[in-house]
Amino acid sequence: MKVVTPLFDSSVRPRHVAIIMDGNGRWAEARGLERAEGHAEGATAVREAVRTCREQGIEFLTLYAFSNANWQRPTLEVEALMRLLVEFAESEKAELREHGIRVNVVGEVEDLPTHTRRAVEHVIDYCADGERMTLSLALSYGGRQDIVNAARALAVRARAGLVLPEEIDESFFHKEMTTQSLPDVDLLIRTGGEARLSDFLLFEAAYAELMFLPVMWPDFKEDLLIDCIRQYATKERRFGRTSAQVAAATASAR
């Protein structure tokens, strides 16, 4: 197995990277191709992003693969995306397992067609022992819906007397969400030229560094991801504190 030394020290690189993979359809249309061909080309960029994050020591990578709003897209495009998910799960599972990458899903996996859901569940089980990195696929996912579902679940438990209102804090609330196993997002990247979150990880990305790139997802290569991580490494992460407080905390931790 090829071993690559990360370019960034663990103290400055992001622990959790999330990516909105936008621009597949427009990439294809600009070349006179069907939109589905853009999604197929985007699968190559997914493989490269996973490999790059693994080599750079990123612990968590979350990819916005299919939102709950994407069900409104043309039927043929949705069907093509579901087939690609199956192909990805079947073709990549051996390499994911070999490199210790655990696969996770956030969102409403039960909304997926049976064949797609079973393929996804199989790759999750197959890679369950992975400890080097967690690859999360956001499928039929919406950040606001995830928050609403968590609130509803807590309301039911509170009505049954199983939880007291004063017990509910951010950590307690997060345990009811489909992202419960993931830490907060450190770096959120969106390709495709749009500067919006599109209902992606709204709760988890509260303090994320946001980077919006004009490049379409199929053209998102290793060097661009490395550059995003490099930019992140230059940021001062204050979380409400002053620069002096951050410097003092860093010094005391040494």
Residues catalogued as catalytic: 22, 70
Q: How far apart are CA 112 and CA 166, in angstroms?
A: 36
Q: Please answer whether residues 218 and 84 qualify as being in contact, where contact means their C-beta atoms are separated by less than 8 angstroms.
A: no
Residue 111 near residue 141, CB atoms below 8 Å: no
* Cβ-contact 127, 103 below 8 angstroms: yes
Task: Round the CA-based radius of gyration of the chain to a whole number and report it.
Answer: 19
The residue to which tokens 């907060």 are assigned: 184
Structure tokens at 213: 């790139």
d(CA 22, CA 218) in angstroms, rounded, equals 9
* Cα gap 106→178, rounded to integer Å: 5
Nearest Cα neighbor of 42 from 68, 57, 61, 64 is 64
Q: Are 225 and 6 in contact (CB under 8 A)?
A: no
Q: What is the DSSP letter of 218?
A: G
DSSP 186: S
Using the structure block, give the residue that is written with the tokens 């209102």: 165
Give the angle 137-139-140 at the CA atoms, nearest 5°: 160
Residues 6 or more apart whose Cβ sits within 8 Å of residue 110: 117
